[in-house]
Structure 1
Amino acid sequence: MTEPAELDLPVEGGTLRVLRFGDGPRIALAVHGITASGMAFGALARRLPAEWSLYAPDLRGRGGSADAPGGYGLDRHADDVCRLARDLGAGAPVALTGHSMGAYVALLAADRRPHLFDRLLLVDGGLPLPVPPGADLDAILDATLGPAIDRLGRTYPTDGEYVEFFRAHPALGPDWNADVEAYVRYDLTGPGGARRSKAREGAVRRDGRDLLASGDRFAAALRGLGVPALLLHAPLGLLGQEPPMLPADVVGRWTGAGPDLPAELLRGTNHYTILLGAAAGTVAERFTTLV
């Protein structure tokens, strides 16, 4: 598997680490999930046609951008995506996709600067999630992302033990492949004997609370979509079993009333393997043909 080029590209207040897969003239921009990194798009990038280049930033607080200044929040990330799209597109619109939390960031970016993008592919994210009024948002995060958040505060004696932690994950272990391993190993940092994830818990919690509290904003953006869009979603969730990340009634509400956001269920996938498994070929095909 070809290693991506690692670039440091300007955004407000500093730079972001951006992974570039491919060197074709057709530009795509891909936004990762809440504890992930740009390496989540390796499998997708390898399946794009040769004329494409895919740029996948590490969002602030993750990956090579773990120490990027300026704070967190979905608006901050959406601003960064718009800046990258403007600079990379050099006057031409770019193709945009996002997975999980990245789908929400991509949606906000496309809503505020639709002229920068010629399509929007949402992958298992981007739809408003039901949150009870007055709910404890951190408690919801702990209930839904508990294992993912827990690992951010742990250290591991060796790289191998960190990899084995992920190999035991019920959503990843059964479908383990070279793309998953590259994604996991890219996330490692720290001294020998105390290896840990690059992702910052503070960034994850800040962005998670923002995501849960922003349903009205996502709804408005979906109603006002100004670019061709498609939702791809998985039948299984974060632990490789039901419920899915996007409940069926939520998908039905936002995709059944009109043609602006068609949806496709990619059977046999979970929240991670929809992007890191064999379905990456389908995701690539839908992305490149979406108009």
Structure 2
Amino acid sequence: MGQYVTTKKGRTCYIYETPGELGTIIGSHGLTGNHKQLYYYQEALSDYRFISYDILGRGNSDSAPADRSIDTHADDLLDLIDTLEIEHPPILLGYSMGAYISAIAASRLERTEALVLLDGAGEADEATRQLVLPSLDRLKKTFASPDHYAQEAKKLYTSLGIDWGSHMKEVVRYEIKEDGGAWRNKSDPDTIARDFESFYTFQAEDVLARVNCPVFLLTATGSLGDKGPLFKEEGYARTKESARNIRTAMTSANHYELVFNRQPEIIGELESFLSQKEVKS
């Protein structure tokens, strides 16, 4: 069920919640995404209460103030958790930028049941910047109609190995709005670029050392075209070294296939991690 929630600090967030009995998972999406990026994980982990949300500046949540970064987005996540009055320690699951946010939030929460990092919370390098920044140009474009936007999005996503179907059509329709008779992405390009640059402020050795719960780190090694993976494996070295209780896994899927295509093997790994005695409520 989707709904708007106004937090205790006055931010209005759009959340999508599905019921379950095995505890609460709160999912944070990637840099240019929204809650629909986590659809396949939310669908597969149906035994859990799963709350995905639009990070400020994305989807149908409030716009992001000028001072926003992964650090302040983590505070926004803590504000949302406090507002929702979740009874038991939550499981924080983050993809890409959401992994940074979830890791920082877990380091600040008194208790977290588990932390799941889906190809994020490592060290971004210059190659990461060269992959991401050119892709943000699409946020500046306007389109004559939703169909025109969908056609361009289809070309982009299918070139990255994404299966184009009803879910992807829903994803791209959700991420746009009408503006002065034209259609464009709901996200502000400057906000997205600022958030991306804040990846480089992340200090894994400081953040992960303060995370006391079990951690699951999944890295995606698949290449984006001929440019390699978004995050290099060596960029996760400090994340792995700093976490006290970490389980790691690797997938040959690329960064975008990880969320936009069904990933039964990854779900199996994740279910195995969550079923361990030490991460149960």
Taking a change above 3 Å as real, the CA distance of residues 236 and 83 of structure 1, as seen in their structure-2 partners, is same
Confirm whether residue 228 of structure 1 aligns to residue 208 of structure 2: no
Structure 1 counterpart of 2:197: 209
CA distance in 1, matches of 2:218, 2:118: 5
Over residues 130-184 of structure 1, what are the superposed CA-to-partner deviations in whole Å (9 max), with x where a residue is unaligned? 46xxxxxxx974x222343111110111111211212112554542233322222
Q: Which residues in structure 2 correspond to 1:1-291 (within 5 Å)?
A: 4-20=1-17, 22-25=18-21, 26-49=23-46, 51-67=47-63, 71-115=67-111, 117-130=112-125, 141=129, 143-169=130-156, 170=158, 172=160, 174-191=162-179, 193-212=181-200, 214-215=201-202, 217-237=203-223, 239-252=224-237, 254-255=239-240, 260-267=245-252, 269-279=253-263, 282-283=266-267, 286=270, 288-289=274-275, 291=279
Q: Number of residues paired by the alignment?
A: 273
TM-superposed CA distance for 1:12, in Å, is 2.1
Q: Name the aligned partner's letter for residue 121 of structure 1.
A: V
SS in 2 for 1:251: helix
TM-superposed CA distance for 1:95, in Å, is 1.1
Unaligned runs of 5+ in 1: 132-138
Taking a change above 3 Å as real, the CA distance of residues 206 and 233 of structure 1, as seen in their structure-2 partners, is same
TM-superposed CA distance for 1:36, in Å, is 0.8
SS in 2 for 1:54: strand
Unaligned runs of 5+ in 2: none
Report the more deviating stretch, 281-290 or 67-76: 281-290
CA distance in 2, matches of 1:250, 1:197: 30
Q: Name the aligned partner's letter for residue 47 of structure 1.
A: A
TM-score of the two chains, using structure 1 as the length reference: 0.83
Q: CA RMSD in A?
A: 2.7
Taking a change above 3 Å as real, the CA distance of residues 95 and 289 of structure 1, as seen in their structure-2 partners, is same
SS in 1 for 2:60: helix
TM-score of the two chains, using structure 2 as the length reference: 0.86
8 Å contact from structure 2 (residues 54, 60) kept in 1: yes
Over residues 201-230 of structure 1, what are the superposed CA-to-partner deviations in whole Å (9 max), with x where a residue is unaligned? 121122112112x14x33211233211101
TM-superposed CA distance for 1:259, in Å, is 6.4
